[in-house]
Amino acid sequence: MERLKVNLCGIPIDNPVIPASGTFGYGYEFARFYDINLLGTFSCKGTTLEPRFGNPTPRIAECPDGMLNSVGLQNPGVRAVVEEELPRLRQVFRKPIIANVSGFSPEEYAETCAILDREEQVGWLEINISCPNVQGGGHAFGTTPEAAASVTKAVRKRTTKPILVKLTPNVTDIVSVAQACEEAGADGLSLINTLLGMRIDLRTRRPVLANTFGGLSGPAVLPVALRCVYQVSRAVRIPVIGMGGISSAEDVLEMMMAGASAVQIGAANLVNPLACKEILEQLPSVMDRLGIQSLYELHS
């Protein structure tokens, strides 16, 4: 449908609905529920250079209007993704995907991206800078403009495809981090990643998560995500993908009105595997109700 089309870093996509990394696997897992080619694209499970088992269990905790997760980037490593996961995905998905990449040094990010850059199936590289910087004392790369820029520059030198830097909201000034990424060569930004939180088991008096802290996602974070997208989109010239708490067609439009060129939907997929399909189906009628002829007019 023409009125739903958007452009993401120079690549046209059929609609702005994109399942978020970590909530959609490598895509083919959801193909048994519906034709995933209906989607604009999707962001694959976070991939690192080497395989990772992830954090100890329990990794998930429920919250009012959301959830906490501390999965710890469990994945088979980039070589297994290229050799096993992407060929399996090709059987059910014909569009370019967003490859989500994590790492623990700028060099590791760059090497993983260089491997994925050679894959025709990969349209964009989404750089998750919420990972701990093992060379810088364990603080996430996304918490300072300097560290965020160092990862962006390293990846830019090794890749030709559009780079989307995924920003953490766990900072004092997300705008300065976004501007540093733009200056370092990012083609777009994804925000927000999860908010840091925790739960305590009243019976044991101990944290519910084995890792103590986890990332809060779900409808509870939508107001924070909207604020961040609004601020960042007005401070940079590159496109922004908005995410955080989106669970309806109305949320999609609200996020785009805040300044997003496209949206990612995360926790909703874990509650309802058909969430993205249903949101996409509802989007035209909600646009009609609000007098929106085309999504492009939200950025005019």
Identify the CA nearest to 193 among candidates 6, 11, 20, 1.
20
Share of the chain above pLDDT 70, in %: 97
Asked if residue 68 has pLDDT above 60, the reply is yes
CATH of domain 2-54+72-195+218-299: 3.20.20.70
Domain ranges of the chain: 2-54+72-195+218-299
Q: What is the mean pLDDT of the chain?
A: 94
pLDDT of residue 136: 52
pLDDT of residue 139: 65
Residue bearing tokens 């925790």? 198
**pTM of the complete model:** 0.96
**Residue 131 is a catalytic residue:** yes
Q: In the structure, what pLDDT confidence band is assigned to residue 134 with cuts at 50, 70 and 90?
A: very low
pLDDT of residue 299: 73
Instruction: Tell me the mean pLDDT in the region 179-195.
Output: 97
- Selecting among 131, 181, 228, 276, the annotated active-site residue is 131
Dihedral, 22, 27, 32, 35 alpha carbons, nearest 10: 120
Tell me the H-state helices in 118-165.
145-158
pLDDT of residue 300: 58
Instruction: Tell me the mean pLDDT in the region 89-108.
Output: 96
CB 230 within 8 A of CB 258: yes
The Cβ of residue 297 has, within 10 Å, a number of other Cβ atoms equal to: 11
